[in-house]
Structure 1
Amino acid sequence: MARNIFNQPPKDEKESAAPSPTMQKTAKLPGSVGGLRDSLREITANSIRDIEPDQIDMDGLRDRLVLEDTSIDELAESIRKHGQQVPIMVRPSGQPDRYRIIYGRRRLAAIRKIGGTVKAIVRTLDDDASLIAQGQENNLRLDPSFIEKSLFIREMQEIGYKPGVIQDALGLTRQGVSNHRVVIDQLPDGLVQLIGPAHGIGRRQWGDLAALSGKVDLVNSAKEVIAALPDDTPSPERFQAVYSACSHKARADKKPTNRGVTSVVKNESGDTVGTLTVDQKAIAIKIAKKDNPEFGQWLEERAEAALLQLFDTWRNESGSGS
């Protein structure tokens, strides 16, 4: 079960500052007054603050492939008309009056487009807790696509996050994390960035595309396909176009099976004597006994000697020696 990271006591500089004399006196009061004090502190800790966007650093792990797209413009227009309905979450930075984003990157990008302050919850969380909060909030609000989760997992693993933290962040089992990583490791660098997040395209489809990497240059093929598409082509459609083109190319490049060339050998009367089949691997002489049973019986008795005689003739004519 994911850890409860939303009820941790605040540790930012305002809450952790030395208590005032009034607060010291209140701290000595027993019973209901002390409970009221704790409740007020909790309300303060959970209050939403208005923060200037330029005070917030967009650091940490990227869980989205695209931030500057039409969905950001639509979100910005919605916030302009109706206001910011859902706060983002930040944590104090090491610098005064600066914060680091935990989640809400799309909302922050939208507000930066239209101007104004950002409504934000401030929490003092460590890296693990921040990562879990980021992953869980994104899963609840706008589920990242399969390939976005795969990239997120790879980046978390490369940085050194523990398996349990990664599983909590995305709500995946250990096997689920492994399934995402297997696919992303098979895809060449740069391919996902060309296609985009491709919402609705799952593990099997990405896996099928990855399987073509040994037969087709996926990146260059994707560049050619996407260059021919309209600029506003949705990411899932870009994926389908790339996959279709690469699949077709893989089939076209596959060498056809060489079944050889077969010719019918006939005598001077036009009767079929047998067939001769030649391919890159063998020469086959076939005599159908039903067509000429007597000749077939005769050849069967002499075939080995006849083949050796032909071999000796070739050797003498070619000068291959004895």
Structure 2
Amino acid sequence: MGTSLMARNIFNQPRKDEEESAGPSPAPIKSSKLPGSVGGLRESLREITANSIRDIDPDRIDMDGLRDRLILEDSSIEDLAESIRKHGQQVPIMVRPSDQPDRYRIIYGRRRLAAIRKFGGTVKAIVRTLDDDASLIAQGQENNLRLDPSFIEKSLFIREMQEAGYKPSVIQDALGLTRQGVSNHRVVLEQLPDELIRLIGPAHGIGRRQWGDLAALSEKVPLVDIAREILAGLPDTTPSSDKFQTIYVACTSEARGTTNQSARSQTTVVKDKSDRPVGTLSVDGKSIAIKITRKDNPGFCQWLEERAATTLQELFEQWQNERGSGN
């Protein structure tokens, strides 16, 4: 299983939509042709079978193997399910025969399989007979054309592969990384508590340097305790990358001694009379920030944008007047 199986880095420039073209599939293992027309016919039938797409009941497919995502059930799965329901499954998944009769094991396409299971029906699948190493590399190659795994997801995937006993060369082929690249991911992961990663999530867009900076604070501050306190004040819909940034700022401030336990950065969710979130108010030792999400409140965002500067000036003048009268 050499590097020739890996044409490029699987985590560069991902394609995120179900309707996009499928990635390269591993070629079926060729056997020596039998002499004469019988051998040619058997070879042709073997090639047709290897490349055919079958409709399979999702209940016959086992979700085994190594996970390369922190989150499999999220809003993107709902969007994917709706897209497939409207337009059909444009890109097949890949499975391999199970040891149990009439069952299969997933190689790649876990998100598509999860989406189709939401509304029922069969799933289009390519069936290939691959060993564990070839399956792992196929999974890595195909991910190049799907939702890009984040740095921390790749790090967890590396750890799973190593603990499962895969050879370094297979891991490098699956991820398109050098030995040093694999080591860089693993070193950062070893410094981070698993619970902290679970609390933050995949954090797309947060790279090795940022995760490394957070990991370096593990010896100075209680990362998990701070993360729990910060996340308790954030909406459940807060993007994972925003969770990371908020936690990192709080941990950095704690490590520098710029805030004490009671003055640590706090985020409050402001709600309307119907108990629906309007926005968030974040306060720390350096600033006060008001955040309104356009997706949740597009009309209010537009209204506030048109009046923000004037409103801030009025508040400042009110403060000056009250301060003057108080003196």
Say yes or no: TM over 0.5: yes
Superimposed CA distance per residue, residues 216-261 of structure 1 (whole angstroms, 9 cap, x where no aligned partner): 1111111111121111111111111111111111112799xxxxxx
1:222·1:242 contact (CA, 8 Å) conserved in 2? yes
Would you say 1:217 and 2:222 are equivalent positions? yes
Q: In structure 2, do the counterparts of structure 1 residues 208 and 68 end up closer, same or farther at CA, with 3 Å as the change threshold?
A: same
Structure 2 residue 147 is the aligned partner of structure 1 residue 177: no
- Is 2:195–2:224's contact at 8 Å kept on the other side of the alignment? yes
The corresponding residue for 2:160 is 155
Contact 2:96-2:105 within 8 A present in 1 as well: yes
- What is the TM-score of this pair, normalised by structure 1? 0.70
Q: How many pairs does the alignment contain?
A: 239
Distance 1:67 1:10, change over 3 A: farther
Instruction: State the TM-score, normalized to the length of structure 2.
Output: 0.69
Instruction: Verify the 8 A CA contact 1:10 1:124 in the aligned structure 2.
Output: no
Q: Distance in 2 between matches of 1:136 and 1:9?
A: 17
How has the CA–CA distance of structure 1 residues 74 and 10 changed in structure 2, closer, same or farther, with 3 Å as cutoff? farther
Q: Which of 131, 134, 137 lines up with 2:136 in the alignment?
A: 131
Cα offset, 1:39, TM superposition: 3.2
Structure 1: which amino acid aligns with 2:199? L
* 1:8 match: 28
Look up the SS of the partner of 2:257 in the other structure: helix
Moved >3 Å (runs of 4+): 27-30, 33-37
Structure-2 separation of matches of 1:214 and 1:254: 18
Structure 1 residue 89 displacement after superposition? 0.6
1:75 aligned residue: 80
CA distance in 2, matches of 1:76, 1:163: 36
Please report the RMSD computed on the Cα atoms of aligned residues, expressed in angstroms.
2.2
Q: CA deviation at 1:141?
A: 2.1
Write the distance in 1 (CA, Å) between the matches of 2:99 and 2:172: 28
Map of 2:237 onto structure 1 = 232
Deviation at 1:45, TM superposition (A): 1.3
Question: What is the one-letter code of the residue matched to 1:201?
Answer: I
Q: Which moved more, 1:226-235 or 1:138-147?
A: 138-147
The answer to whether the 8 Å contact 2:28/2:50 transfers is no
Question: Is this contact kept in 1: 2:253–2:259, CA < 8 A?
Answer: no
The one of 180, 192, 197 equivalent to 2:197 is: 192
Deviation at 1:9, TM superposition (A): 3.6
- 1:9 and 1:204 map into 2 onto residues whose CA distance is 41
- Paired letter, 2:208: R
Deviations 1:110-145 (A, max 9, x none): 001111111011111111111111111112322211
Aligned to 1:317: none
The alignment partner of 1:86 has SS state of coil
Q: Give the superposition deviation at 1:35.
A: 4.4
1:10 touches 1:123 (CA, 8 Å); kept in 2? no
1:89/1:172 CA distance change after superposition, 3 Å = same
> More displaced, 35-44 or 102-111?
35-44
- Counting aligned pairs with the same residue, the percent is 78
- Return the alpha-carbon distance in structure 2 between the equivalents of residues 79 and 245 of structure 1: 41
Q: How does 1:49-64 map to 2 (within 5 A)?
A: 49-64=54-69
Greater radius of gyration (CA): 1
Contact 1:139–1:170 (CA<8 Å) still a contact in 2?
no
Structure 1 gaps of 5+ residues are 12-26, 256-322
**Structure 2: unaligned runs, 5 residues or longer:** 7-24, 261-327
Specify the alignment match of 1:89 in structure 2. 94
